[in-house]
Chain A
Amino acid sequence: MRKEEINQSLTEEQLISRKEALKRAGLMMGGFVFAPALTGILNGCTPQAGEWTPVIFDADQAATLKAIVDTIFPETDTPSASQVGIPGYIDELLSRNSSKDDQEAFIAELTAFINQSAADLEGPFAAADVDTQYDYLMEIHKTSVGQGETLKDTSIPGFFMKVKWMTVVGYFTSEPGATQVLRYAPIPGPYRGCVPFEEVGRTWAT
């Protein structure tokens, strides 16, 4: 590393904190680790279950988004993505916590998905049955998986990964996701560095 690099203008993505670096160094405490390019996207709000009045989405866009996130996390013995408030979470993180440019880019990508899927499925994605929705998204997923860089990508696979990423983060930082699917200990008590896995049983939420 040379002086020129230090003095270059800094974007937030380039700045990795001590804590973040430690977290990345050790992927500490079962938390999550994002590629730096993604950190700017996650600017959102608390998922609110129940009624959602979209702020930046029209009715078609809202219905499509709900269908996508519920395909990623449908209701099983634990709640679905929409049951824990993920559509509202995505709306809020774009409307309240992101730049206008990011909002508009996302809407454009969502619109492209709506048009392409309607052409491919000969009808709206949101109106398709759940198996069709699953198969359609899984085909997209297969072309994008494992490539963090696709999150910068404005193509449909890139768009899907963005939605998946927001859905996963929102879901596991919601109370049902953290406590029913994962394990959450608000007050762990004394630290123990090496316990049998069975004692915890599931991934720590934090």
Chain B
Amino acid sequence: MNINGQAKQDMTYDAIVVGSGISGGWSAKELTERGLKTLVLERGRNVEHVKDYPTMNLDPWELPPNDDIPYEDRKHYEKQMRTGYTIKESTKHWWVKDTDQPYEEKERFDWIRGYHVGGRSIMWGRFSLRLSQMDFEANLKDGHGVDWPIRYDDIAPWYSYVEKFAGISGQAEGLPQLPDSEFLPPMELSCVEKELKKTMMEKFGRVLTNPRMANLTVPHNGRGQCMTRNLCSRGCPYGAYFSSNAATLPAAAATGNLTLRPHSIVHSLEYDDSTGKVSGVNVIDELTGEMLTFHSKIVFLNASTVGTAMILMNSTSDRFPNGLGNDSDQLGRNVMDHHFLAGADGVVEGFEDKYDWGRRPQSYCIPRFRNVGDDKRDYVRGFGYQGGSGRQGWGRAIAELAMGQDLKDFAAKPGPWSIGMLGFGEILPYEDNRVTLNRDKLDKWGLPTAVFDVKIRDNEYKMRKDMANDAAEMLEAMGAKNVTPYDRPYGPGLGIHEMGTARMGRDPKTSVLNKWNQIHEVPNVFITDGSCMTSSGCQNPSLTYMALSARAANYAADQLEKGELS
């Protein structure tokens, strides 16, 4: 065998997965467990579970106050800081520097992301909700976007499959609009949350339920249970929440079929006209700048919603001059997120002899109730709430007219209970909410940069009124005082739920992917990150990405076994 032949063989795998975040980890696990030699390409550095979580055990006094970064470093994170919580001394190593990773905004768009093994599965919010039949039918029924090519029954077994592995805690409620998961025991509600739950059912017939989250309330599949430190986004020493690093990548590695290659920035996919398939993945080595080409029978794109769309747009050929699989011109369009920052909070009297123990790492959950059943609003779709409660803390001491021992004593007594809720609303798929490439402004690796032109519209603005007013009404109904509704400026992307840039659909003329997440025209390329979403629902999306990834990967493996695709 000649040297070139050997080299090509060394760079050839059964499957290549681009990206190691929440969906790429699942693609890798399933493909390797099905016996496929799989290369995972990750554009950032390696992160090993526990070993590479440098801040996971730091106490407040071991960090700068408010955990903030030095003033002169802020210029590197002007967009990443828009969340207010991402760029902290304890977590800044998980997020990109805007000065290294520039992008352009026609309208404000918050593209908040991290490039390393595990991606945002390390820093995600862990809220885990199923989509429902209502969500899969919504586009068809109200005419926005295109019809999903699947229904709830197609994905339900795969939700169960990924939940049993990942470990989702929560309380079954039997609601059609928010189907139950395979739950581990729920994390408790606080006293005032239980009171609100009672009021909501008695006065409104609405459900408040325990957090539904990928935090383990009991040891599960070799990972430890949550110690309620609420330091999740630093990385968990117990592996008590789901991440690629803690769960899927170790499982993939255990098969012996995984090759993980960090520092591998995918430039483009090579389309082979003679086979009608992708034959290679072009990679820039982040450390050497060298361009390499890897080969495989199938490719899974899990580079994140925007990253995946950018790779496809940069993969041009005679057959696909506008980007791979983009006959429909839908690539990069229909960018969605969840709009939030509208809700209400208030103060609850009468529970001063109670406190809570531990720092519960997620919110209580109020499933969608608007436009459900007979309820009809002047907008379509709906929203759910996430909420929290707690006794007011020592921060009260600042405004208190006291000094000395009096002030210490005051701070040592907690204040009244506060409770609040924050709506997360569906954004419709608008074709002209899009991301495009700027080929005139290249990044430091010579790749085109992203341009965003995305905004929310009348349907979302109308919904936000309910998000604030409904919250206030329910809090007032439980007798809360000082109830304050709010509707604060939201920029698309701030929910960090960006999705929709390569949607699934029934018709190749109006969608990029088919019902198995395959590019209609290029059957050996599968896309199972957020870009595949046909509508957004109002549910946090990661659980759906997990289920679609596992489903598509097993379908791909089945097809390979049948002699298809190769």
Q: A20-B85, A22-B363, A27-B393 are in contact. Are A185 and B358 (CB under 8 A)?
A: yes
Mask of B408-425 contacts with A, CB within 8 angstroms, 1/0: 100111110011111000
Smallest CB gap from A204: residue in B: B393
Measured CB to CB, the closest approach of chain B to A44, in angstroms, equals: 4
* Docked CA distance A31–B395 (Å): 7
Q: Please give the distance in Å from A182's CB to the nearest CB on chain B.
A: 6
Whole-angstrom distance from the CB of B231 to the nearest CB of chain A? 9
Q: Contact: A194 with B84, CB < 8 Å?
A: no
The reply to whether B418 and A27 contact each other, CB–CB distance below 8 Å, is yes
A203 touches B394 (CB 8 A): yes
Mask, A107-119, CB within 8 Å of B = 1, is 0000000000000
Contact A46 B489 (CB under 8 A): no
| Contact residues in B for A190 (Cβ distance below 8 Å) | 217, 225-228, 358
Query: Is A17 touching B65 in the complex (CB atoms < 8 A)?
Result: no
Interface flag for B391 (CB, 8 Å)? yes
* In the complex, chain B residues whose CB is within 8 Å of the CB of A72: 403-404, 407
Q: Does A32 contact B (CB under 8 A)?
A: yes
A59 to chain B, nearest CB (A): 24
Question: In the assembled complex, how far is the CB of residue B50 from the closest CB belonging to chain A, in whole angstroms?
Answer: 15
C-beta contact mask, A3-27 vs B, less than 8 Å → 1, else 0?
Answer: 1011110101011111111111111
Stretch at the interface among A50-58, A120-128, A163-171: A163-171
A22 adjacent to B386 (CB under 8 Å): yes
Interface size band for A? 35 or more
Q: Is the CB of B345 within 8 A of A26?
A: yes
Query: How far is it, in angstroms, between the C-alpha of A146 and the C-alpha of B351 when the chains are bound?
Result: 24
User: In whole angstroms, how far apart are the Cα atoms of A98 and B64 in the complex?
Assistant: 13
**Which of A43, A78, A174 makes the CB contact (< 8 A) with B66?**
A43
Q: Assess whether B71 is in contact with A96, with CB atoms less than 8 Å apart.
A: yes
Given A98-B71, A190-B217, A196-B354, check contact A22 B228 (CB 8 Å).
no
Among B187, B352, B420, B494, find the residue whose CB has the most chain A CB atoms closer than 10 A: B420
Choose among B353, B412, B494 the residue that contacts A182 (Cβ–Cβ < 8 A): B412
> Are A30 and B414 CB-contacts (below 8 A) given A22-B387, A145-B401, A190-B217?
yes
A17 to B85, CA, bound (A): 6
Q: In the assembly, what is the distance between CA of A81 and CA of B189, in Å?
A: 37
What A residues does B481 contact at CB under 8 A? none
Asked if A6 contacts B354 (CB within 8 A), the reply is no
Chain A residues with CB under 8 A of B399:
145-148
Q: Could you give, for residues 350-386 of chain B, a 1 whenever the CB lies within 8 Å of some chain A CB and a 0 otherwise?
A: 0111111111100100000000000000000000001
Distance in Å from the Cβ of A9 to the closest Cβ of chain B? 9
A32 to B386, CA, bound (A): 20
Q: Is B70 an interface residue (CB 8 A)?
A: yes
How far is it, in angstroms, between the C-alpha of A74 and the C-alpha of B406 when the chains are bound? 11
Cα of A93 to Cα of B228 in the assembled complex, Å: 30
Considering only residues 273-331 of chain B, those with a C-beta below 8 Å from chain A are none
A141's closest neighbor in chain B, by CB?
A: B401
A27 CA to B82 CA in the complex, in Å?
Answer: 21
Cβ-neighbour of A26 out of B71, B405, B420 (below 8 A): B420
Whether A82 is near chain B, meaning CB under 8 Å from some CB there, is no
Residue of B nearest to A41 (CB): B66
**Interchain CB contact under 8 A, A25 and B387:** yes
What chain A residues lie within 8 Å of B342 (beta carbons)?
1
CB <8 Å contact, A194 and B188: yes
Instruction: Give, as a whole number of angstroms, the nearest-CB distance from B338 to chain A.
Output: 10
A residues in contact with B59, CB < 8 Å? 175, 178, 184, 186
Question: Given the known A-B contacts A168-B397, A189-B228, are A30 and B390 also in contact in the complex, defined by CB atoms under 8 Å?
Answer: yes
Q: Is the CB of A173 within 8 A of B61?
A: yes
8 Å CB interface, A125-149 against B: 134, 137-138, 141-142, 145-148
B191 at the interface (CB under 8 A from A): yes
Q: How far is the CA of A88 from the CA of B354 in the complex (A)?
A: 37
Are A29 and B125 in touch, CB under 8 angstroms? no
Instruction: Give B139 Cβ to nearest chain A Cβ, in Å.
Output: 25
The CA-CA distance from A129 to B163 in the complex, in Å, is: 66
Chain A hits for B455, CB < 8 A: 3, 6
Asked if B341 CB lies within 8 Å of chain A CBs, one says yes
Closest to B83 in A: A17
Given A22-B387, A26-B389, A31-B393, CB of A42 within 8 Å of CB of B66: yes
Assuming the A-B contacts A16-B341, A146-B401, are A26 and B352 also in contact, with contact meaning beta carbons closer than 8 angstroms in the complex? no
Q: Shortest beta-carbon distance, A183 to chain B, in Å?
A: 8
- Asked if A97 CB lies within 8 Å of chain B CBs, one says yes
Taking a contact as CB atoms under 8 Å apart, the answer to whether A32 and B404 are in contact is no
Known contacts being A34-B395, A78-B408, is A16 close to B357, with CB within 8 Å? no
Asked if A205 is at the interface of the complex by the 8 Å CB criterion, the answer is yes
CA distance A181 to B398 in the complex (A): 15
Given the interface pairs A173-B65, A193-B190, A203-B412, the reply to whether A16 lies near B353 with Cβ below 8 Å is no
Q: Which of A8, A25, A93, A204 has the most CB of B within 10 A?
A: A25
Cβ–Cβ contact A206 & B422, under 8 A: no
Contacts A21-B343, A31-B393 given; indicate if A44 touches B358 (C-beta within 8 A).
Answer: no
**B151-185, CB < 8 A from A:** none
Q: What's the nearest-Cβ distance from chain A to residue B62, in Å? A: 7
In contact, A206 and B60 (Cβ under 8 angstroms): yes
B470: min CB distance to chain A, Å: 14
Chain B interfacial positions (CB closer than 8 Å to A): 59-66, 68-71, 81-86, 107-108, 125, 187-191, 193-194, 217, 225-230, 340-345, 351-360, 363, 386-395, 397-401, 403-405, 407-408, 411-415, 418-422, 455-456, 461, 464, 487-491, 494-495
A-B contact pairs, 16 of them (CB 8 A): A1-B489, A7-B107, A18-B125, A19-B84, A26-B390, A30-B391, A32-B395, A39-B66, A42-B66, A96-B71, A145-B401, A147-B399, A189-B228, A190-B228, A191-B359, A200-B357
Other A-B contacts than A29-B390, A203-B414, 17 sampled, CB-CB below 8 A, are: A1-B489, A15-B83, A18-B125, A21-B422, A25-B344, A26-B389, A26-B420, A29-B360, A29-B393, A31-B395, A45-B64, A145-B401, A188-B227, A194-B351, A202-B413, A203-B393, A205-B60
Question: A residues bordering B, Cβ < 8 Å?
Answer: 1-3, 5-8, 10, 12, 14-34, 39, 42-47, 71-74, 76, 78, 89, 93, 96-99, 134, 137-138, 141-142, 145-148, 161, 164-165, 168-170, 172-175, 178, 181-182, 184-197, 199-200, 202-206
The 9 A-B pairs with the shortest beta carbon distances in the complex, nearest first, are A25-B420, A32-B395, A26-B388, A17-B84, A188-B358, A193-B188, A194-B191, A27-B418, A191-B358
